[in-house]
Chain A
Amino acid sequence: MLWPHKDLLCITQLTAAEILYVFRMARRFAEINTRPVKKVPTLKGKSVILFFVEPSTRTKTSFDIAGKRLSADTYSLAASSSSLRKGENLKDSALTLQAMHPDALVLRHHQSGASEFLARRLSCSVINAGDGWHAHPTQALLDGFTLSEVWGDDMAGKTVLIVGDIAHSRVARSDVLLFTALGAQVRICAPRTLLPAGVRQWPVEVFSDLTEACKGVDAVVCLRLQLERQKAGLLPDLREYARTYGLGARHLSKANPGVLVMHPGPMNRGVEIDAALADAENSLILDQVSAGVATRMALLFLFLTRKDATDQGDARGDQVESPQPQSPSLQED
């Protein structure tokens, strides 16, 4: 498959076949992460700017490791150390970065649509690492990849429940799109104050009772509750939220046997998830983190080699072969 996309902004732009292609690639790259020397020269000479205007630890580290394991040069930039702090606007900051000729810019931004805004203005690939409440496509891809490692790629017949602050969650929006694209049934559960406008038109079942929502599900994704939601008047208090929407064993007893538990992190143990459940055997929470590196390696590979493959194709004037990640012939550097 010749990767057709310049940017990764939202799951809606990917077909099911493209999502599964990312999974296949991630599966191959995951192997590298288990080697004694976890580095290959695949993206040597490529440069990736990690522009994290909104603070992030795991996503940024995950991209950083992913890039470095493929020998790309990664450069981290936070809002606090960029010219944004001096009043420069996002467009000018991005154009300045582009003038340094990166191959990709990974953007985390607190405003919905910021990635799309930059993608329209930059010639390099823009990978959305989370924009406001809108989208977090790489998280959704790694969530899907994690589940596919257990279930296989065909998710038809499976039911995934997403519980928590759906309204303000880019993970929820992207997960809904990805799981439904792969054939799963999706449920969401939240107090009405944490449901987005127009949710009844989403391809999901909506619940307000967590016990009901858990009946017959195969996986539960708990979302982080931002503590400021209480101050915003969306919740009475965290204790009540934990009692009503914190996932516990009593809820999971209603789920299908072998139910899986996920959380994009960072977790508030005892708020959105019972502390013991997070560490239980059926928890995939740390698997998600590992899958994150492999998935982002796959994505960086696809986006950073896309132009090379196209150029070669142009030179040859024929159909370009699928850019294979050379595994098992991936060379250690």
Chain B
Amino acid sequence: MPGPDLIVRNVLWQDELVSLWIEQGVVRRLAPPDEPCSEGEQLHGGGALLLPGLIDAHVHLREPGFEYKEDIASGLEAAARGGFSAVLAMANTRPVNDSAAVTSFMRDRAAATHPLGPRLHPVGALTKGLVGQELAPLAELAEAGCVAFSNDGLPVASPDLFRRAMEYASDLGLVVIDHCEDPVLAEGASMNEGRISGLLGLKGQPVVAESMQVARDILLAEYLDLPIHLAHISCRQSVELIRWAKARGVRVSAETCPHYLLWTEEMVQGYNTLAKVNPPLRTDDDVLALRQAVREGVIDILVTDHAPHADHEKEVPMDEAPNGISGLDTALSLSWKLVREGVLSPQDLCALWSARPGALFSLPVNRFQPGDPADFILFNPDLEWTVTPETLRSKGKNTPCLGQTLPGRVVAHGIAGKILFHNVDAS
């Protein structure tokens, strides 16, 4: 048997010091840290946590069309530094990703700018132009490499069209990701509807704008016996519906984002456009419900909903500001805050950011079993960093974390056994 190509020595995996042996892009085995081997490249982990490469199933990389906000190169760079080995890129580009040409363009750009990864998996539009009138050519999109379909950003209002989309997608073996939002109830909202929107004089989005669509999707999924994945869940009412649906055996899965687990509508005080996100940040009670749902598996996965915007777009009054928080750079640190607060365990992180999204979207996942893809990160949870425009790799500096000190840094990242970076000073 040939020797390993790469040995990552002295890293913590499930509280044990190990070394990771990698051969031809896959995991060969986890070995004792000092097991001698003279072959292959040696990378010294310095006791950092060994984690699988993360999968972010919901990002907006803005290219083509909005490269001033982000392009595939900068988005993937932020993903790499943030610990993500794969991202699912939504279709609300310009042109919309509703044709094989756009899908291929995105994949080609990713391969050209980041040949070693992270991997970009396009999500195809559910309807042409995302306008919710006609189905997009889903088969063509699947053939071109889309791994799921979604009208994220412009949810499909028609239950009939949405039903047909679910049915058509199921023939292709791909999941529909729904942005659950009633467009009428949510129209013109800048934040959560509640005490603070009333005081600030801002139009609020009621939680039922989300939960009504969650209920619709669940009922359709049960009726059709088809899977549905619910994007960026933000409120208790939705969680309770999903819990009920799962108990009935409905094939529903759901995601939420770190910002819904950490922050509330209070963040919007002072008309803070950096905290303007859709769905909006909700209340303490919603945060509690979501935290519990994540721990219990009612919410299946975490995503960033990475939504970069240019500074000048957020430097406007609240109503004019676009929705979105830039999330790829900060997601793991924010998740680690949840670990520190006892909300999640490190094992939960691996499940929420890797194993489960991989299973949901049929992507290869590293569980550190022999033969698994050697996508891994080394994470130093004790290393703190201050979020500034300069420390963010994304072009989007639009995060409420600006100026905050966050715990944990990715000190090395490998994909398919190739080292993307190794920050020796930080390990």
Give residues in A with beta carbon < 8 Å to B: 89-91, 109, 111-114, 116-117, 131-135, 167, 170, 173, 196-199, 201-202
A-contact 0/1 string along B181-195, CB 8 Å cutoff: 000000000000111
Q: Decide: B201 and A135 in contact? CB cutoff 8 A.
A: yes
Q: Flag whether B270 is at the interface (Cβ < 8 A).
A: yes
* Cβ of B68 to closest chain A Cβ, rounded Å: 15
On whether A133 and B201 interact (CB within 8 A), knowing A91-B315, A113-B271, the answer reads: yes
Q: Say yes or no: A133-B196 contact (C-beta < 8 A), given A91-B315, A109-B317, A116-B270.
A: no
Asked if B407 lies at the interface with its beta carbon under 8 angstroms from chain A, I say: no
Q: List 15 A-B contacts (CB under 8 A).
A: A90-B316, A90-B317, A91-B315, A91-B316, A111-B319, A112-B271, A112-B319, A113-B318, A117-B317, A133-B201, A134-B200, A173-B201, A197-B198, A198-B198, A201-B195
Give chain A nearest CB distance to B352 CB in angstroms. 32
Residues of A contacting B206 in the complex (Cβ-Cβ under 8 angstroms): 197
Q: What is B's interface to A at a CB cutoff of 8 Å? A: 193-202, 204, 206, 270-271, 312, 315-320
With A91-B315, A111-B319, A111-B320 known to touch, is A132 a contact of B201 (CB < 8 Å)? Answer: yes
Query: Which residues of the partner chain B approach A91 to less than 8 Å between Cβ atoms?
Result: 312, 315-316
Give every chain B residue within 8 A of A132 (Cβ-Cβ): 201-202, 319
Whether B271 pairs with A116 at a CB distance below 8 angstroms is yes
* B195 CB contacts on chain A under 8 angstroms: 197-198, 201
Q: How far is the CA of A209 from the CA of B42 in the complex (A)?
A: 79
Q: Whose C-beta in chain A lies nearest to the C-beta of B195? A: A198
Nearest Cβ on chain A to B59's Cβ, whole angstroms: 27
Residues of B within 8 A of A196 (CB): 197-198, 201
Q: Quick one: closest A residue to B316, CB to CB?
A: A89
Residue from the list B194, B199, B317, B320 in contact with A173, Cβ < 8 A: B199
Closest beta carbon of chain A to B192's beta carbon, Å: 9
Q: Are B316 and A112 in contact (CB under 8 A)?
A: no
Cα–Cα distance between A173 and B206 once the two chains are bound (Å): 21
B194 and A111 contacting across the interface, CB-CB below 8 Å: no
Q: Are A133 and B271 closer than 8 Å at their CB atoms?
A: no
Q: Which residues of B contact A89 (CB under 8 A)?
A: 312, 315-316
* Bound Cα distance from A141 to B202, whole angstroms: 22
Are A133's CB and B194's CB within 8 A? no
Max chain B C-beta neighbours (<10 A), residue from A113, A114, A132, A173: A113
Q: Are A113 and B198 in contact (CB under 8 A)?
A: no
When distances are taken between beta carbons in the complex, the residues of chain A under 8 Å from B320 are: 111
Contacts of B271 in A (CB 8 A): 112-113, 116-117
Q: With the chains together, A198 CA to B194 CA distance in Å?
A: 5
Task: Give Cα A201 to B195, complex, Å.
Answer: 7
With beta carbons under 8 angstroms apart, the residue of B204, B316, B318 that contacts A197 is B204
Q: Are B315 and A113 in contact (CB under 8 A)?
A: no
Which chain A positions have C-beta within 8 A of B318?
Answer: 111-113
Point out the residues of chain B lying under 8 angstroms from A113, CB to CB: 200-202, 271, 317-318
User: Is the pair B197, A197 in contact by a Cβ cutoff of 8 Å?
Assistant: yes
Asked if A198 and B319 sit within 8 Å, CB to CB, the answer is no
Residue of A nearest to B271 (CB): A113
Q: Return chain B residues, CB-CB under 8 Å to A117.
A: 271, 316-317
| In the complex, residue of chain B having the shortest beta-carbon distance to the beta carbon of A170 | B201
| Residues of chain A contacted by B316 (CB below 8 angstroms) | 89-91, 117
The complex places the Cα of A170 from the Cα of B193 at a distance, in Å, of 17
A131 to B195 CA separation, bound complex (whole angstroms)? 18
- Among A117, A173, A197, which residue has the most Cβ atoms of chain B within 10 A? A197
Chain A residue nearest to B315 (CB atoms) is A91
Known contacts A89-B316, A113-B271, A117-B317; A198 and B202 CB within 8 A of each other: no
Known A173-B201, A197-B197; further 16 A-B contacts with Cβ < 8 A: A89-B312, A89-B315, A91-B312, A111-B317, A112-B202, A112-B317, A112-B318, A113-B200, A113-B201, A113-B318, A133-B201, A133-B202, A134-B201, A134-B202, A196-B197, A196-B201
Distance in Å: Cβ of A178 to nearest Cβ of chain B = 15
Across the two chains, which residue of chain A brings its CB closest to B312? A89
Residues of A within 8 A of B204 (CB): 197
B350 shortest CB reach to chain A, Å: 39
Contact residues in A for B270 (Cβ distance below 8 Å): 116
